[in-house]
Structure 1
Amino acid sequence: MTGQDDLVRVVHVELADAEATRAYGRALAGVLRAGDLVVLTGALGAGKTTLTQGIGVGLGVRGQVASPTFIIARVHPSLVGGPSLVHVDAYRLGSLEELDALDLDAGLEESVTVVEWGEGLAEVLSSDRLEVTIDRPHGAGDVTGDPGAAAALDAVLDAEAGLRKVTVRARGLRWCDVPLPG
């Protein structure tokens, strides 16, 4: 018997630089709808926030999408009548209880929720989700340990060209018939 957890599609994409990463985020936004969860994984400076910026543009949301490292979660309302973008940085969250305290599930059905550093925590929010892993070999690991440096590191590295290898895992029934950008 096949369960919903067994339904996984995988897409691999190579993105040349920060602008290509934003463009891919805009394309990804084209298949997202209210209630969708996107879990982003990658080292500091890999491009998680850059991808989320593209998603924000594609969804037509208000405000500059920036790393929510210190405030943990930021809501960007739609300017075009679509879903809001809830952008979460789970780096500082140490447990499921801390994630639950954010009360994200209250707004999941009305918003697109993007969780950076969410691997191992955010999966409990929905069995239907996109898991996006961004690997950027020359940027990953240059700085370690200080999540506060993430935004500055993103800005420095995004100014440079840098190949990103992106793996998108579409999990659950929601994604069975949805064409993913690739």
Structure 2
Amino acid sequence: MSASNQPADGRPEVSSEDSPGVRPNWEKTLTATTAEETHNLGVRLAGVLEAGDLLVLSGELGAGKTTFTQGLGEGLGVRSGVISPTFVLVRIHPNLPDGPRPGGPDLVHVDAYRLGSAAEIDDIDLENTLDSSVTVVEWGHDRVEHLSESRLEIDLHRAIGLGAGGGDASTPGGTTEGTALDFDNEDTDEPRTIVMRGYGPRWATVPEPVATLEGTF
């Protein structure tokens, strides 16, 4: 996995993916060459996540959103079986007392693709679990920013931009069954570009597991 840093300061303009009027504290771009690298990045990042953390994932079909979230779940030590919550909106994976982080936060996995506004996000009462969990929201851009003053935005991009059977960035992805990685079977070695941005005081600097990431692991 290769990485590059792009400080937010001095950029000529705010990316179209940034929230209006808000600049990230930092931006880091990684290249994952396999599904395992994407999964391992999630495991690695989970080591610094705490209850109350909010992650916003974006990416087209097959980009690896569920693969990444499965890695987070493994690193957090929550109940296995992380799949896309597309049709149920929210899945809660409780922390396991005999896992690697007993007493740690639960994982709340949300798919906001079918939710059209921040008001609809409020209707599913994420505030009730936010303080005790790590909350991961797929398709949450412009929908969940009001939930916390701090967040990590993680964008995953396929090189060819298409999933199995077609589809594009407007199609909800990650509808895998069981715990299979959500990369297409024939393109697990296709590189994925992963762009991470940190907002708010919680993410004033790049988290150590990502900041020190160099090469392939």
TM superposition score normalised by structure 2: 0.75
Q: How many residues are matched? A: 177
- Structure 1 residue 38 and structure 2 residue 65: aligned? no
> CA 1:30–1:75 in 2, change beyond 3 Å: closer, same or farther?
same
- Structure 1 residue 25 and structure 2 residue 60: aligned? no
SS where residue 151 of structure 1 aligns? coil
SS where residue 44 of structure 2 aligns? helix
Q: Counterparts of 1:71 and 1:100 in 2: how far apart (Å)?
A: 16
Judge which range, 159-168 or 18-27, deviates more: 159-168
The amino acid that maps onto 2:167 is V
Q: Which residue of 1 aligns with 2:148?
A: 126
Q: Which residue of 2 aligns with 1:89?
A: 111
TM superposition score normalised by structure 1: 0.88
CA RMSD of aligned residues (A): 2.1
Which of 160, 175, 186 aligns to 1:151? It is 175
Q: Counterparts of 1:156 and 1:85 in 2: how far apart (Å)?
A: 22
> CA 1:47–1:155 in 2, change beyond 3 Å: closer, same or farther?
closer
Q: What's the CA shift for 1:87?
A: 0.2
Structure 2 residues without counterparts, runs of 5 or longer: 1-21, 97-101
SS where residue 107 of structure 1 aligns? helix
SS where residue 88 of structure 1 aligns? strand
- Structure 1 residue 114 and structure 2 residue 136: aligned? yes
Structure 1 residues without counterparts, runs of 5 or longer: none
Which of 201, 204, 215 aligns to 1:173? It is 201
Q: What's the CA shift for 1:63?
A: 2.8
SS where residue 69 of structure 1 aligns? coil
> CA 1:66–1:15 in 2, change beyond 3 Å: closer, same or farther?
same
Q: Counterparts of 2:148 and 2:154 in 1: how far apart (Å)?
A: 15
Q: What's the CA shift for 1:100?
A: 0.4
SS where residue 131 of structure 2 aligns? helix
Q: Counterparts of 1:155 and 1:115 in 2: how far apart (Å)?
A: 16
Greater helix share, structure number: 1
Deviation digits for residues 107-129 of structure 1, max 9, x if unmatched? 11110000001111111111201
The amino acid that maps onto 2:132 is E
Q: Which residue of 1 aligns with 2:71?
A: 54
Q: Counterparts of 1:169 and 1:151 in 2: how far apart (Å)?
A: 25
Q: Which has the larger radius of gyration?
A: 2
Deviation digits for residues 15-45 of structure 1, max 9, x if unmatched? 0111110000001101110000000011121
Q: Which residue of 2 aligns with 1:164?
A: 192
Q: Counterparts of 1:19 and 1:175 in 2: how far apart (Å)?
A: 25
Percent identity among equivalent residues? 47
Bigger RCO of structures 1 and 2 (CA < 8 A, at least 6 apart): 1
Q: Counterparts of 2:74 and 2:183 in 1: how far apart (Å)?
A: 21
Q: Which residue of 1 aligns with 2:27?
A: 10
